[in-house]
């Protein structure tokens, strides 16, 4: 099974940005964590991070016909991006949304998720572990 794992804007600043909210581990540590979770569940992962909405849309389109599912932390685009929602709907691959922080217990504008409307599950507030649970869910639901 092949999964695309997408991370949106400012996640490359993990460890630097608001560590009380997002933790002290950096983005390289997150990527390592995701790779080891993928190994645990015997899935192949393609990792992609961008600060650009269009680049995330293009990567979702790229996944069509190549990947079996998508794990996405759209970061700030969660709360604004109909384009990412439409891209997920367009490829119609099983998708799971992840947030490091608990978006529902923060500012009210973080309670709306457009990409989440095309996702089967959301793991929020679990830190890195949310990515592991997302991979596990897709493997157990769709994996060979």
CB atoms within 10 A of CB 17: 13
**Judged by CB under 6 A, which of 63, 67, 100, 135 binds ligand DQA?**
100
Tell me the window of 27-35, 46-54, 98-106, 132-140 that interacts with ligand DQA (CB under 6 A). Answer: 98-106
Among 114, 116, 120, residue whose Cα is nearest residue 82:
114
76 is a contact residue toward ligand DQA (CB under 6 A): yes
Pick the closer one to ligand DQA by CB: 30 or 38.
30
CB of 42 to ligand DQA, least distance (A): 26
Pick the closer one to ligand DQA by CB: 99 or 132.
99
Whether 79 is a known active-site residue: answer no
Whether 142 is a known active-site residue: answer no
**Judged by CB under 6 A, which of 12, 49, 50, 78 binds ligand DQA?**
78
What is the CB-side half-sphere exposure of residue 25 using CA atoms within 13 A? 11
DSSP single-letter state for residue 16: T
- Token pair of 60 as six digits: 């979702």
- Token pair of 23 as six digits: 């933790």
Cβ–Cβ under 8 Å, residues 119 and 97: yes
Residues that bind ligand DQA (CB under 6 A): 10, 73, 75-76, 78, 99-101, 103, 110
């Amino acid at each position: 099974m092949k999964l695309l794992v997408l991370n949106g804007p400012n996640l490359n600043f993990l460890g630097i940005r608001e560590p009380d909210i997002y933790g002290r581990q950096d983005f390289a540590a997150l990527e390592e964590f995701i790779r080891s979770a993928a190994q645990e569940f015997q899935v192949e992962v393609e990792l992609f991070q961008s600060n650009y909405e269009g680049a995330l849309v293009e990567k979702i389109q790229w996944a069509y016909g190549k990947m079996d599912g998508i794990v996405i932390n759209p970061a700030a685009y969660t709360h604004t991006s109909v384009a990412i929602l439409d891209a997920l709907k367009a490829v119609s691959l099983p998708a799971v949304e992840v947030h490091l922080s608990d978006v529902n217990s923060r500012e009210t504008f973080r309670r709306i998720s457009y990409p989440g409307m095309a996702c089967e599950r959301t793991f929020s507030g679990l830190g890195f572990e949310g990515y592991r649970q997302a991979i596990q869910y897709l493997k157990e639901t769709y994996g060979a």
